[in-house]
Structure 1
């Protein structure tokens, strides 16, 4: 992981778009073999992933890493309930033990966002395929390094942007409508998600036994324990570390990783970025990102029930969220597609299953690491705009703010102790 930002930027653009077939693995020649999976983090979201993969006949969970003993024990108990007392699933606090386990073919990363990049890069270097929750990373540099490692090591890397596959197909249909010109040329898109990240100001609490707090922090700055960041039980809620800049990007990144992803997919701009970021002077709404062709993507949360992604074209408007899709005129969404229309390829019954299928075929998954990296970068750019409160220019080929030292300082973070990208 000792890679300088300068040396990486020389290859970043070249590694983003590569052939659709990944050639380094033998799974395509052994379709009947079981895929052994390791888990890194088993909180609220990853707990659901664990249930899913325990239910897949062609997969077996063989390792679980988790910093909270109560959640680690619970995960192992669920494995034992499925496989029996002789399950041979290894339990560990340190994810490196999962990555060094030669039985593990692929890993599911469900940690807080600040812990996505380093395990991803280490997994790639160990030639293990990866399913990682969204957003891909907290920083732009981390997104680029993760992409580079995945490409260099030719792994199948799926990001958990499951709106590309699930939720009734509403988002897939929206993409097809936009790509087929149902509302004409789209010049503006509104993304209705929450606030950007804020500095963490939570008070210190006494750390209970059974939590490796130093490992939870990892590359993040040292601070004392707080249970809002790391719950002490088997929790059924999404912990609010996601609000804080040190660990995530606020609701803007948390849900923006879904909705910005759909916007750029629909516009066929999955592997590029804007050229200008224009934040509001105050408030937590209204930031604009402008693309070279004039397209505006606006962060604007409203009370409109269809506000998650709104496309504005010169012939109409299209609204989509997880409940459905509608348009003005209505026919833009309701009219059936014909044989000449552009359609997305069939990808299987679920997002996680698409990853398993691609592990076997060595094809790129529907939410490939490059798409996730560029969505993550988009969320970071928006957060940086709100943080600096001024207009910024962005070079989407060089991945930098030209001549802007203050903004460029936000691209990377120093890490902590042994947990550094360089």
Structure 2
């Protein structure tokens, strides 16, 4: 296994220094010096795939060897950008089919930034090829895909980090350490989570010819082949159940995963959900514009709500969580946190950490989420530490599976109209054959569901 040394002095300059050391430990950045840098491949060369890759380049001496994407124009642009960003200046090889990329290159790390319906197959194939994997959330579009991904990670002894980087967000690490773990909340018996962003793409574009530079069949892969009605990039694909799990799979997973991490929660005992398309009925979008879900634990309910219309309940926390304890309340988001004590205690407020001076290139990067960049860098450091020590990263695949599957089960509860209790040992929904049958989606031929392998 290739190990390497991150420049300790360079990395520890900045606001995240103490958090890196206190959370990951000083050993986290004391890697052995390698004979060569990790060889990296990226599957899915769009906006967020590149964003993850650039954060990795910023914290580690890696060499990006290859990129795969079914959009030839996007692939060409990404290769040129990567060449300009990586130290060697070399242009990565490019591939239309990720399987050929894996077959022709010995890769140490594979980053997966493709749409959700591809995550399971690509992650498992990368593990089989010998690579450690950084996969974007949600890890899967059905529950049994997630089970197969966990099994593959353990079988092939690969480190898999999930892109739920709230666990590596500096101000939220501070909240966990200095509010939750310090006992300032007391007994916690209720959690509220929400997203009120108007992020549900909706419209009625006409069916049209597929551009010659775009392999639509490869992009679709195991998902149903919808009539082509424009490039699916960015938000358009997310508006369809064929490729993901709506706002639940996109946004709830972040907040639910964060709450589980902070409160050390595992699988919910029962999940229920209601919702549907209540307001935005005019377009093709088939994901819910309004939804409420309840994740039940002993003496604790975690409640999610999203609306893609109207105003947020609290404009300061439009995508957020609230943890209610007997001694106080913790409000958290990607931008800040506030602890409000019961009675006369001291309030605590912390803002997001930016690293613009340390990484001035961030401000020149198109569409970058500046507030998320430090978190993703720290997430990459944690990923690399796990590889170097044969350990488990903070967002290990099993934790990503629990958070992902719980959100999928909420959608299935909404679909079936009843609460669901999942048994991960038997991989069934308890006392519900109909819901159990929905744990696995049908794949489009010739692709095979990983649970059948």
**Structure-2-length-normalised TM-score:** 0.75
Out of 77, 80, 86, the position equivalent to 2:80 is 77
Offset at 1:415?
Answer: 0.9
Q: Quick check: 1:185–1:315 contact (8 Å CA) kept in 2?
A: yes
1:207 and 2:203 aligned: no
- The answer for the alignment partner of 2:15 in structure 1 is none
Offset at 1:115?
Answer: 0.5
Out of 249, 258, 266, the position equivalent to 1:253 is 249
CA distance in 1, matches of 2:396, 2:273: 29
CA distance in 1, matches of 2:207, 2:85: 39
- The answer for the alignment partner of 2:28 in structure 1 is none
Offset at 1:203?
Answer: 4.8
Q: Quick check: 2:159–2:386 contact (8 Å CA) kept in 1?
A: yes
Call closer, same or farther: CA 1:100–1:388 in 2, change over 3 Å. Answer: same
1:275 and 2:269 aligned: yes
Out of 222, 232, 236, the position equivalent to 1:240 is 236
Map 1:120-269 onto structure 2 (within 5 A).
120-166=123-169, 169-176=170-177, 177-193=179-195, 203-230=206-233, 238-269=234-265
1:288 and 2:272 aligned: no
Q: Quick check: 1:193–1:252 contact (8 Å CA) kept in 2?
A: no
CA distance in 2, matches of 1:138, 1:130: 18
Q: Quick check: 1:325–1:333 contact (8 Å CA) kept in 2?
A: no
Q: How many residues align?
A: 374
- The answer for the alignment partner of 2:50 in structure 1 is 47
Out of 298, 322, 341, the position equivalent to 1:329 is 341
Q: Quick check: 1:197–1:383 contact (8 Å CA) kept in 2?
A: no
CA distance in 1, matches of 2:116, 2:348: 38
Unaligned 5+ segments in structure 1 are 1-27, 231-237, 337-346
Offset at 1:264?
Answer: 0.6
Q: Quick check: 1:53–1:61 contact (8 Å CA) kept in 2?
A: no
Map 1:393-412 onto structure 2 (within 5 A).
393-412=421-440
Moved more, 108-117 or 395-404: 395-404
Offset at 1:49?
Answer: 2.4
Q: Quick check: 2:43–2:111 contact (8 Å CA) kept in 1?
A: yes
1:318-375 deviation per Cα after TM superposition (whole angstroms, max 9, x unaligned): 1111121112218476399xxxxxxxxxx99621232223322322212111111111
The answer to which structure, 1 or 2, has the higher relative contact order (CA under 8 A, 6+ apart) is 1
Q: Quick check: 1:199–1:246 contact (8 Å CA) kept in 2?
A: no
CA distance in 2, matches of 1:85, 1:31: 16
Q: Secondary structure at the match of 2:339?
A: strand
1:76-97 deviation per Cα after TM superposition (whole angstroms, max 9, x unaligned): 2123335699836211100012
- The answer for the alignment partner of 1:315 in structure 2 is 327
Call closer, same or farther: CA 1:54–1:179 in 2, change over 3 Å. Answer: closer
Moved more, 281-290 or 203-212: 281-290
- The answer for the alignment partner of 1:303 in structure 2 is 313
- The answer for the alignment partner of 1:17 in structure 2 is none
Moved more, 150-159 or 55-64: 55-64
1:182-235 deviation per Cα after TM superposition (whole angstroms, max 9, x unaligned): 1111111111126999999875222111111011111101222232524xxxxx
Q: Quick check: 2:161–2:396 contact (8 Å CA) kept in 1?
A: yes
Offset at 1:101?
Answer: 2.9
CA RMSD of aligned residues (A): 3.0
Q: Secondary structure at the match of 2:110?
A: strand
Map 1:111-126 onto structure 2 (within 5 A).
111-126=114-129
1:277-311 deviation per Cα after TM superposition (whole angstroms, max 9, x unaligned): 222376623321212x1321111244212351111
**Structure-1-length-normalised TM-score:** 0.81
1:45-71 deviation per Cα after TM superposition (whole angstroms, max 9, x unaligned): 012123334445520000110100111
- The answer for the alignment partner of 1:7 in structure 2 is none
CA distance in 1, matches of 2:301, 2:220: 36
Q: Quick check: 1:66–1:94 contact (8 Å CA) kept in 2?
A: yes
CA distance in 2, matches of 1:84, 1:277: 48
Unaligned 5+ segments in structure 2 are 1-30, 279-289, 307-311, 351-374
- The answer for the alignment partner of 2:406 in structure 1 is 378
1:356 and 2:384 aligned: yes
Call closer, same or farther: CA 1:199–1:406 in 2, change over 3 Å. Answer: farther
1:25-44 deviation per Cα after TM superposition (whole angstroms, max 9, x unaligned): xxx77645310000101111
Call closer, same or farther: CA 1:179–1:56 in 2, change over 3 Å. Answer: closer
Q: Quick check: 1:129–1:359 contact (8 Å CA) kept in 2?
A: yes
- The answer for the alignment partner of 1:3 in structure 2 is none
